[in-house]
Amino acid sequence: MTDLLADIEELVRCESPSSDHDAVARSAEVVAAVGRRLLDAEPERIVTDGCTHLRWRFGDAPKVLLLGHHDTVWPLGSLATHPFSVRDGVLRGPGCFDMKTGVVMALHAVAALEDRSGVTILITGDEEIGSPRSRPLIEDEARGCDAAFVLEASAAGGALKTRRKGTSMYRIVVEGKASHAGLEPEKGINAGVEIAHQILAVSALDDPERGTTVVPTALSAGTTSNTVPANAVVAVDVRAWETDEQERVDAAIRQLKPVLDGAKLRIEGGINRPPLDSASSAGLFRLASALATELGLGELTETAVGGASDGNFTAGLGIPTLDGLGAVGDGAHADHEHVIVDEIPRRTALLNALVKAVLSQ
C-alpha cells in the first residue's frame, strides 16, 4: 500500500493540464520513471502535435490493452488550493480520481504479473479534451486485442462502467458586421442575436425519451459594450446512447442556416466518440464479477453513465471493453475530488486477476 500511495503522490504533485504541452511532457516523465522502476522497462514516448503519450508493449502478439491518461482538467497552480493529502482513509489532490490513481494501479497490476507477454499499457496525454491526437494511437493499439481495460475512475459506490454515451462536440461560429451600437446599430449585423437564434435551434434537438442531450456551453460574442458584435461563437456538447441519434443531431447541426440577413455561419467539430454499448462489456463484467468473488472483494456493481472515455473508441472497434476499473471515490473535476484509500489495492488485485485471466484464454 505504501508504494502505491507514494507513486500516486508523485503523479498528482506533477500538474498536467491537457492544454499545456510542456506540463504534460513533464508529467509523462514522472509516469515513465514510475513505470520504469516497477516494470524494469522503458516506455516509448510518442509525441503527436506536441502532446506526449507513453506506451509499454510486452511480447509480439498483443492480447490485452490497459488504457489510461495522465492529463487532467486542473490548471497549473491547483496544488496550492487543493494540496495532495491522505487523511482518515481518503486521498485528495487535483487529478487523483480522474485518473492518476488509475494510472498507478495499471502499472502495479502489470508489475505483479509473472508473464507480461501480450500486455500493452497505453497512457495518453489528451483524453480530457476529447483525445484529438491520441485516437488513432488508441485504435491502432486496440485492434486485434481480446480485451481493453480502461482505468478511468469507477462510478458511484465503485460501480464499473459497462455502458457510456457517445459524444459529439461542435463550435457554431457566426460572422456578422460591427457598427456603433448607439449611432447606427441598423448598419451592423448582430452576431450576438444570430448566435442566440442558433442556441435555441440546437437546444430543440434534445430527445429526453432517448436520452439524447444537446447542450450549448461556452459562449462568447462582441468586443465592447457599445459595438454591435461582429463575431460570436458557442460550443455545443452532444451525448447519445445510440449511434443513429448522434448522426441525427450531426445532420441537423450541419443544416443550420443564418436567421439574420447577411450573417454567416460556420460549423466546426463533429462526432467525437461512438457509444460504448453494454454488449461490449457484458462478458468482461461477468468475468470480473467471478474474480471479485474469488478474491473476496464482494459483489461488483455496474452502471451506465453519460460521460465518455477512450473506452468508447475501443468498443467502437468491436473490442470487448470494461471501463471504470480505476479509483473508487468521487468528485471528478470538482473541489471534492478524492479516492478511498482502502479500495486501491483491492481494485489493483482485481485488475491483475482480469489481465491474467484473459492472457490465459
Q: Point out the residues that are catalytic.
A: 71, 127
Q: Angle at CA 128, nearest 5°, toward 124 and 132?
A: 65
Instruction: Estimate to the nearest angstrom the gap between the alpha carbon of 189 and the chain centroid.
Output: 38
**How many angstroms separate the CA atoms of 46 and 134, rounded?**
9
How many Å apart are CA 352 and CA 329, to the nearest integer? 20
Count of beta carbons in the 10 Å neighbourhood of residue 10: 17
Query: Which residue bears the cell 451592423?
Result: 188
Three cell numbers written together for 345: 489495492
Say if residues 263 and 178 touch (Cβ distance below 8 Å): no
Q: Exposed, middle or buried by CB within 10 Å (0-12, 13-18, 19+), for 173?
A: middle
Largest Cα–Cα distance of the chain, in whole Å? Answer: 78
Report the alpha-carbon distance of residue 77 to residue 337 in Å, rounded: 16
| Residue 55, φ and ψ in degrees, nearest 5 | -140, 130
Chain centroid to CA 296: how far? 30
Query: Would you say 124 and 170 are in contact if contact means Cβ atoms under 8 Å apart?
Result: no
